[in-house]
Amino acid sequence: MTVPVGGAAQDAAGAASVRSRSAYLVSAVAGIATALVILGAVVALFFNPLWVGFEQGRTQVDAWTGWDTATIRSVTDPVVIEVFLGPGTFAQQANGARVFSAEESGHMADVRRVVLMFAGIVLVAVVLLVVTWWSRPRREAFWRGVGAGAYGLAVFLVAAGVFAFFLFDTAFEIFHRIFFAPGTYTFDPATSRLVQLFPEAFWMETTIALGIVAIAVSVVVAIVARRRRSAARGAPSEAA
């Protein structure tokens, strides 16, 4: 049976279109997953007892609370761990008294829900990144997506950083309005232990440090992805 020339050309064009759509999908998924994984990894790097303790010392939390360093650590370390591991009641005590009011504990429970939701999204992104990487015939598309995702995240963080640098209070308010119900995250620094333990300077310096590291990591990932893409472009599996 003879296949018409026109039919063969159409079949070839259709196959090329499918390959193109498949490569685009791999790039898009890899790009989004890369940005999320980088952001998740950097957030984890900063939101742990080591960094929190260091930054609380820098922002003079002892002066805010009137507590010594040992007391601050005995309260804050369990709070940070509880955000990730639960139970989410935030009923810490210091000097025989409960540290947080009911409203503060409720806000921290909301924080925990947001953190766990973000962690779940990052975990899914890790799985998607592994799956798209495993697609060997689309390896060039994978690295193109990784590079685009890393570069896009770096550009976004630079723009967000400039905005937050000049309008930190506004950026902080916008963030809270997105993730928390109105009236559940405003406390008086004069009486709120939550604010005293995590003052504005703490969040400002942590945000700056996190942004700088995330941008640096994104740039490195983008450079590596560009080189790997160039190598994959000439690989036999990509040419097939």
Give yes or no for a contact between 185 and 109, defined as CB atoms under 8 angstroms apart. no
- Within-domain flag for 19: no
Cα 61 to Cα 79: distance, rounded to the nearest angstrom: 15
Residue listed under structure tokens 């810490």: 92
Residue among 59, 91, 34, 53 nearest 196 (CA): 59
- Within-domain flag for 240: no
- Within-domain flag for 80: yes
Angle at 189 between CA 186 and CA 193, to 5 degrees: 95
The partner residues of 94 in beta bridges, in order of sequence, read: 97
- Within-domain flag for 17: no
- Within-domain flag for 14: no
- Within-domain flag for 172: yes
- Within-domain flag for 4: no
* Number of structural domains found in the chain: 1
pLDDT in tens, the chain (240 residues): 454 555 544 444 444 444 567 778 888 999 999 999 999 999 999 999 999 999 999 999 999 999 999 999 999 999 999 999 999 999 999 988 999 999 999 999 999 999 999 999 999 999 999 988 886 666 788 999 999 999 999 999 999 989 888 888 888 888 889 999 888 888 999 999 999 999 999 998 999 999 999 999 999 999 999 998 887 776 554 433
Cα 38 to Cα 126: distance, rounded to the nearest angstrom: 10
Full residue range of the structural domain in which residue 50 is found: 31-234
- Amino acid type, 182: P
The separation between CA 148 and the C-alpha centre of its own chain, rounded to angstroms, equals 17
